[in-house]
Chains A and B, each alone.
Chain A
C-alpha cells in the first residue's frame, strides 16, 4: 500500500471518529448566529395550518375559545409563538378567551402569556369580560371527561380564587359543549390527542392544536375529521404568523418569534444534513476500501 493511500485512509478514519465537540460547535454557531443577527424567514402557510387559521378567522364576534396550555418550559420556545399568534388573531376577531392548563407547568405559562400579550399589547381588555385565567387542575384525561359534562364542578373558582359564578364571561358556561373552539397547545400527555378523544369526539366540539415538531406526525391522522387544523413546531408557528400578517397587516412590523426561530432552525438543519451526508460519504469510501483490500480483492 502506498503512502498516499495510507494517508487518505488515516484521514477518513480521523473524520469518521471526529470529536463530537466539533459538531457541537457547528450546531451552536448555526443556532446562535442567526438569532444574534435577528434574521427571520417567512413560511408559506400549508393547508393544515391554513385550515386552522381560516376557522378562527370565520368565528363570529363574541365566540368562546378555550385555550389549554398543555406544555412546559421545555417546549415553550416552540409552542409559545403559536399561542401568541392565536391569541392576537382571537382578539382581532373579538373572541372571548378562556385559558386553562391540564399540565401543572402550564399554569404559570398562562400567567406569563397574560402579562406579555394581553396586558401589554391589549390593555383595554377586561379580565372577566374578555378573558379569564382558570389555571391548572389535576386529573389529566379524567378532568377533560368531567369538563364535557360539567365545567363548574371542576372549576368553582378561577386561578386567583374568584368564585366562577361572579365572573361575567363564565355565566353561560355549563360544559365544554358551550365553547366554539378548543385549542390545545402541546404534544405530550395529556394533550391534543386526549382533547380529541375525550372532548372533541364525544362532545362534537371543534379542536385545534399546536404541538412540537416531533409530535406533529403522530397527530396528522386526526386531520381533518377530528382536528380542525394543526401547527407543528416552529415551522407551524411561522406559517400561522405569516397568515396572520397577510390577514392583519398591522402585525407586519411586530417581531414574530416563530419566524425568528425558523432561520436558526433552517441553518441548523443544513448543518445536520451536511454531517449526515458527510458521514455517509465517509462510510461508503471506507467500505469500498475495506472491500478492495480484503484477500482476493487486494490491489
Chain B
C-alpha cells in the first residue's frame, strides 16, 4: 500500500498531463492550471526545506567546530541579515535602502569577483592541459583557437577566420548539439514512461 498509492498517483497525474497536452478542452485546461499552482506551492515548500537544511548544516558545523567552521558563522549571519533587510519595507517589497545597498555593494561585487576568477584559472588550466596529444585533441585545440582568434582584429585575415569560426559553430557544433538535444529528449521520454508505468521507482526511496 505504501508503494502502491504513490505509484497510482504518479500514473494518473502523468497520464492526465499527456492527455491535456494533446486535447484542447476547457475543463482539462482548468485542472491543468490547478496542477501548475500545486507545482509552485510545492516549490515554495522546497525553498523552506532548503532554508532549514542550510541553517541545520551550518549550525552543526559551528557546534562541532568542524573544519572551517568560521565560514558557517559568516553564511548564517549573511543569510539572516539579508532576510531581515528584505522584510524591512513590508511584505512583498524589497525596495528599501539597506536591502538595495547590501545587494548592490556586497552581493554584486562578491559574485562578480567569483565569476571573474574563472578567467585566471581557465588561462592556467589551458596552458597545462590543452595539448595536441591525439588527433581528436588536436581537432579540439584547432577549433578552440579558431573560435578564440575570431575576436582578434587581424586585418585581411579577420574575415576568412570569422567565416571559418562561424562555420564551426553553425555546422559541426550545431549538428552535435542537435544530436545531443534529440538524444536527451528521447531519453527523457523513455524515462518518463518508465516512471509513469512504475518501472523506475528510485524517487520512492528505499523503504
Q: Is the CB of A276 within 8 A of B177?
A: no
Residues facing A in B92-111 (CB within 8 A) are 92-95, 100, 103-104, 107-111
The answer, yes or no, to whether A221 is at the interface (CB within 8 Å) is yes
Q: Which residues of A contact B124 (CB under 8 A)?
A: 20, 23-24
Q: Is the CB of A76 within 8 A of B108?
A: yes
Residues facing B in A57-108 (CB within 8 A) are 72-77, 105, 107-108
Residues facing B in A104-163 (CB within 8 A) are 105, 107-108, 111-112, 138-140, 142-143, 145-146, 149-150, 153, 157, 159-161
Q: CB-defined interface of B116-127 with A at 8 Å, one 1/0 digit per residue?
A: 100110111011
A46 to chain B, nearest CB (A): 7
Classify chain A's interface size: 35 or more
Q: Given A217-B177, A221-B177, A283-B131, does the pair A269, B111 have CB atoms closer than 8 Å?
A: no
Q: Is the CB of A138 within 8 A of B151?
A: no
Known interface pairs A18-B127, A269-B151; 10 further A-B residue pairs with C-beta atoms within 8 A, sorted by A's residue number: A23-B124, A24-B120, A46-B166, A73-B110, A76-B108, A108-B100, A146-B36, A266-B152, A279-B126, A284-B132
Q: Is the CB of B43 within 8 A of A218?
A: no
On B, residues with C-beta under 8 Å from A are 29, 32-33, 36-37, 39-40, 43-44, 47, 90, 92-95, 100, 103-104, 107-112, 114-116, 119-120, 122-124, 126-128, 130-132, 141, 144-145, 148-149, 151-153, 162, 166, 169-170, 173-174, 177-178, 181
Q: CB-defined interface of A10-40 with B at 8 Å, one 1/0 digit per residue?
A: 0000000010100110111001000000000
The answer, yes or no, to whether A273 is at the interface (CB within 8 Å) is yes
Q: Which residues of B contact A284 (CB under 8 A)?
A: 132
- Which of chain A's residues has its CB closest to B38's CB? A142
- Which of chain B's residues has its CB closest to A44's CB? B162
Docked CA distance A217–B172 (Å): 11
The answer, yes or no, to whether A278 is at the interface (CB within 8 Å) is yes
The answer, yes or no, to whether A220 is at the interface (CB within 8 Å) is yes
Docked CA distance A142–B34 (Å): 11
Docked CA distance A160–B90 (Å): 10
Residue of B33, B111, B128 near A74 (CB, 8 A) is B111
Q: Which residues of A contact B127 (CB under 8 A)?
A: 18, 23, 275-276, 278-279
The answer, yes or no, to whether A245 is at the interface (CB within 8 Å) is no
Q: Is the CB of A108 within 8 A of B103?
A: yes
From B36, B152, B169, B178, residue with most partner A Cβ within 10 Å: B36
Q: Which residues of A contact B95 (CB under 8 A)?
A: 111, 159-160
- Which of chain A's residues has its CB closest to B30's CB? A149
Docked CA distance A284–B122 (Å): 22
Q: Which residues of A contact B128 (CB under 8 A)?
A: 279
Docked CA distance A217–B40 (Å): 30
Docked CA distance A266–B37 (Å): 47
The answer, yes or no, to whether A167 is at the interface (CB within 8 Å) is no
B195 to chain A, nearest CB (A): 18
Q: Given A27-B120, A74-B111, A161-B92, does the pair A269, B43 have CB atoms closer than 8 Å?
A: no
Q: Given A107-B94, A235-B151, A273-B149, does the pair A220, B33 have CB atoms closer than 8 Å?
A: no
Q: Which residues of B contact A72 (CB under 8 A)?
A: 111
- A-B pairs with beta carbons under 8 Å apart, 12 shown: A23-B124, A23-B127, A73-B108, A73-B110, A142-B40, A159-B93, A217-B173, A217-B177, A273-B148, A275-B126, A279-B126, A283-B131
- Which of chain B's residues has its CB closest to A78's CB? B115
- Which of chain B's residues has its CB closest to A271's CB? B123
Q: Which residues of B contact A280 (CB under 8 A)?
A: 130-132, 141
The answer, yes or no, to whether A265 is at the interface (CB within 8 Å) is yes
